[in-house]
């Protein structure tokens, strides 16, 4: 696979290849995502400094152990979703969830991984369905991944496992439906890339839901799609943060750390 790799600095390329080899030799399962997966599913080349490796949370400690033994500096940047491994100016992201606590990496990511060659190394790419799942819940003021979702549907929509994709979104299905509505707006000549039954099922869900009275719980799901833009709702207006367990997958300490990180990272998820 050459696309997103063609203009990488040679030292960075060697670092990425070495990182993958260390994990492979130690039998630590991982998948490649980011620009490499996007190029595979859309043909869009996006040259970034990031190199995203996805793994299950239970494999994170083993991954950082073998990388540390190889001379890397490692950190658990945010305990609920990501760590990093450094050597000089180069680094790889070790991702086991999403910043909102959703889209956790599990066995299905590996079961449906797509074989590919990245930087001359045979690896698995994160599945298109899981990539749409995670990207579809990023709607920051500074970063909105809706165009990536639309481009993926345009290119691989006819190949997607739509039942699995809907199941992945679960109670957040309205976010998926919103992307599909926008997709039909963006590509009227490619609307059939989303099967008719998908739109009918989600339309039926919507019709059933709007016929019901408002929820008695004062919930805000906005924090799922943006870590900054709905803090006012939680902090001042008395809404319940949908990220917070047991409704979500995060605890108060993780949410506080992730919120504090806005000062360092910017608002992007």
Report the predicted TM-score, pTM, of the whole model to 2 decimal places: 0.94
Interval 124-180: pLDDT, tens = 999 999 999 999 999 999 999 999 999 999 999 999 999 999 999 999 999 999 999
Strand order in the sheet with 52-54: 73-78, 82-87, 90-95, 52-54, 31-32, 121-125, 114-118
In this predicted structure, what is the pLDDT of residue 38? 96
Residue that the structure tokens 């949908």 belong to: 242
Name the DSSP class of 240.
E
Ordered per-residue pLDDT tens for the chain, 269 residues: 444 445 688 999 999 999 999 999 999 999 999 999 999 999 998 877 789 999 999 999 999 999 999 999 999 999 999 999 999 999 999 999 999 999 999 999 999 999 999 999 999 999 999 999 999 999 999 999 999 999 999 999 999 999 999 999 999 999 999 999 999 999 999 999 999 999 999 999 999 999 999 999 999 999 999 999 999 999 999 999 999 999 999 999 999 999 999 988 865 55
> Rounded distance, CA 20 to CA 14, Å?
10
Topology of domain 3-126 in CATH is Beta Polymerase; domain 2 (3.30.460)
Provide the H-helix boundaries in 5-91: 10-25, 34-42, 60-69
- Cis status, amide bond into 154, omega within 30 of 0: no
Using a pLDDT cut of 90, give the percent of the chain over it.
Answer: 90
With the CA atoms of 247, 227, 35 and 51 taken in that order, what torsion angle do they form, in degrees rounded to the nearest 10?
-90
Domain residue ranges in the chain: 3-126, 134-210, 219-263
- Contact criterion met (CB below 8 Å) for 38 and 148: yes
Instruction: Please tell me whether residue 98 adopts helix, strand or coil conformation.
Output: coil
């Amino acid at each position: 696979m050459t696309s997103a790799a063609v203009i990488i600095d040679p030292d960075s390329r060697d670092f990425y290849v070495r990182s993958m080899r260390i994990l492979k030799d130690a039998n630590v399962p991982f998948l490649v995502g980011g620009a490499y997966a996007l190029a595979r599913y859309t043909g869009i080349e996006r040259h970034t400094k990031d190199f995203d490796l996805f793994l299950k949370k239970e494999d994170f400690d083993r991954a950082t152990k073998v990388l540390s033994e190889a001379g890397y500096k490692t950190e658990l940047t945010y305990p609920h979703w990501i760590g990093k491994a450094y050597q000089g100016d180069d680094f790889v992201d070790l991702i086991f969830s999403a910043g909102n606590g959703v889209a956790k990496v599990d066995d299905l990511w590996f079961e449906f991984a797509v074989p590919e060659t990245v930087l001359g190394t045979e690896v698995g790419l994160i599945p298109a369905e899981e990539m749409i799942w995670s990207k579809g819940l990023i709607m920051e003021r500074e970063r909105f991944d809706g165009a990536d979702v639309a481009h993926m549907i345009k290119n691989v929509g006819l190949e997607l496992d739509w039942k699995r994709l809907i199941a992945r979104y679960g109670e957040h299905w309205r976010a998926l439906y919103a992307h599909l509505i926008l997709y039909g707006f963006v590509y009227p000549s490619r609307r059939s890339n989303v099967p008719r039954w998908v739109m009918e099922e989600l339309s039926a869900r919507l019709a059933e839901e709007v016929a019901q009275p408002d929820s008695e719980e004062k919930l805000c799901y906005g924090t799922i799609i943006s870590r900054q833009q709905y803090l006012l709702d939680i902090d001042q207006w008395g809404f319940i943060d949908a990220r917070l367990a047991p409704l979500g997958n995060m605890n108060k300490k993780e949410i506080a750390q992730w919120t504090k990180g806005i000062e360092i990272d910017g608002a992007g998820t």
